[in-house]
Chains A and B, each alone.
Chain A
Amino acid sequence: MHSWRIGVGAVLLGLITVMAIAAPLLAPFDPMAISGPPLLPPDASYLLGTDMLGRDVLSGMIHGARVSLIVGLVSALCSAGIGITVGAIAGYFGGAIDRALVRFTEFFQVIPSFMFVILLVAILTPSLLSITLAISVVIWPPVARLVRSEFLTLKTREFVEAARSLGLSHGSVIVREILPNAMPPVLAVGSLMVATAILTEASLSFLGLADPNMTSWGYMIGSARPVFRHAWWLSVFPGLLLFLTVLSITLLSEGLGDKSNPSLRGQAGH
Chain B
Amino acid sequence: MKSLMSFALAIFMGMASLAMAEEAPRRGGTLQSVLWPEPPGIMTGIYTQSSALLPTTKIFESLLTYDFNLNPHPNLAESWEISPDGLKYTFKLRENVRWHDGEAFTADDVVFTYGDYLIEVHPRARAVFERAQVSKLDDHTVVFELKEPFAPLIRSFDLCCLIVPEHLYKGTDFRKNPNNLAPIGTGPFKFDEWKRGEYIHLARNDDYWRDGLPYLDDIYYRFVPDAASRALALETGQMHIATQNDLELFDVDRLSKLPHLDVTTKGWEWGSPIVWIEMNLRKEPFSDKRFRQAMMYALDQNYFRDVIFQGYAKVATGPVHSASPFYEPDVPAYRQDLKKAEALLDEMGLKPDADGKRTTIKLLGLPYGEMWNRSAEYTRQALRKVGIEVILEPSDPAGWATRTRNWDFEMTMYFLTTMGDPALGVSRTFLSDNRKQGVLFTNHAGYANPEVDALFNKAAVSVDEEERKQLYSQVQKILVDDAAVLWLVELVWPTVYNKKLHNVVTGASGPNSSFADAWLAE
Are chains A and B native binding partners rather than an unrelated pairing? yes
- Kindly list chain B residues whose C-beta atoms are within 8 Å of the C-beta of A225: 228, 370
- Kindly list chain A residues whose C-beta atoms are within 8 Å of the C-beta of B250: 39, 227, 230
CA distance A122 to B396 in the complex (A): 8
CA distance A229 to B377 in the complex (A): 23
Indicate the member of A54, A210, A211, A226 with the most B CB atoms within 10 Å: A226
CB distance A53 to B307 under 8 Å? yes
- Kindly list chain A residues whose C-beta atoms are within 8 Å of the C-beta of B315: none
Q: Is B365 an interface residue (CB 8 A)?
A: yes
Interface with B: A30-38, A86-94, A172-180, A256-264, which one? Answer: A30-38
B residues 100-159 with Cβ under 8 Å of A? Answer: none
Nearest Cβ distance between residue A74 and chain B, in whole angstroms? 19
Q: Which of these, A52, A213, A228, contacts B374 with CB under 8 Å?
A: A52
- Kindly list chain A residues whose C-beta atoms are within 8 Å of the C-beta of B307: 38, 52-54
CB distance B248 to A212 under 8 Å? no
Q: What mask results when residues 175 to 213 of chain A are scored 1 for a CB within 8 Å of chain B, else 0?
A: 000000000000000000000000000000000101111
Q: What mask results when residues 353 to 395 of chain B are scored 1 for a CB within 8 Å of chain A, else 0?
A: 0000000000001010010011011101100000000011111
CA distance A150 to B381 in the complex (A): 52
Nearest Cβ distance between residue A67 and chain B, in whole angstroms? 14
B residues 290-325 with Cβ under 8 Å of A? Answer: 307-308
- Kindly list chain B residues whose C-beta atoms are within 8 Å of the C-beta of A211: 394
Nearest Cβ distance between residue A63 and chain B, in whole angstroms? 14
CB distance A226 to B394 under 8 Å? no
Q: Is A127 an interface residue (CB 8 A)?
A: yes
CA distance A242 to B397 in the complex (A): 29
CB distance A223 to B395 under 8 Å? no
CB distance B374 to A53 under 8 Å? yes
- Kindly list chain B residues whose C-beta atoms are within 8 Å of the C-beta of A229: 228, 232
| B-side interface residues, number (CB < 8 Å) | 26
| A-side interface residues, number (CB < 8 Å) | 24
Q: Which of these, A33, A38, A126, contacts B394 with CB under 8 Å?
A: A126
CA distance A223 to B371 in the complex (A): 9
- Kindly list chain A residues whose C-beta atoms are within 8 Å of the C-beta of B82: none
CB distance B370 to A33 under 8 Å? no
Q: Is A169 an interface residue (CB 8 A)?
A: no
Known: A53-B307, A53-B308, A126-B394. A227 touches B373 (CB 8 A): no
Q: Which of these, B228, B370, B391, contacts A213 with CB under 8 Å?
A: B391
- Kindly list chain B residues whose C-beta atoms are within 8 Å of the C-beta of A213: 391-392
Q: Is A3 an interface residue (CB 8 A)?
A: no
Nearest Cβ distance between residue A134 and chain B, in whole angstroms? 14
CB distance A52 to B394 under 8 Å? no
Q: What mask results when residues 115 to 144 of chain A are scored 1 for a CB within 8 Å of chain B, else 0?
A: 000000010011100000000000000000
Q: Which of these, A34, A39, A126, A208, contacts B378 with CB under 8 Å?
A: A34
CA distance A127 to B378 in the complex (A): 20
Q: Is B440 an interface residue (CB 8 A)?
A: no
In this complex, what residue of B is CB-closest to A34? B381
- Kindly list chain B residues whose C-beta atoms are within 8 Å of the C-beta of A126: 394
- Kindly list chain B residues whose C-beta atoms are within 8 Å of the C-beta of A53: 307-308, 374, 377-378, 381
- Kindly list chain B residues whose C-beta atoms are within 8 Å of the C-beta of A125: 393-396, 399
CB distance B374 to A226 under 8 Å? no
CB distance A32 to B396 under 8 Å? no
**B residues with CB within 8 A of A:** 227-228, 232, 248, 250-251, 254, 307-308, 365, 367, 370, 373-374, 376-378, 380-381, 391-396, 399
**A residues with CB within 8 A of B:** 32-34, 38-39, 52-54, 122, 125-127, 208, 210-213, 223, 225-230
6 contacts between A and B (CB under 8 A): A32-B380, A34-B378, A53-B381, A212-B394, A226-B251, A227-B250
Supply 8 further A-B pairs (C-beta < 8 A) apart from A32-B381, A52-B307, A227-B228.
Answer: A53-B378, A122-B396, A210-B394, A212-B373, A212-B376, A212-B377, A212-B393, A223-B370
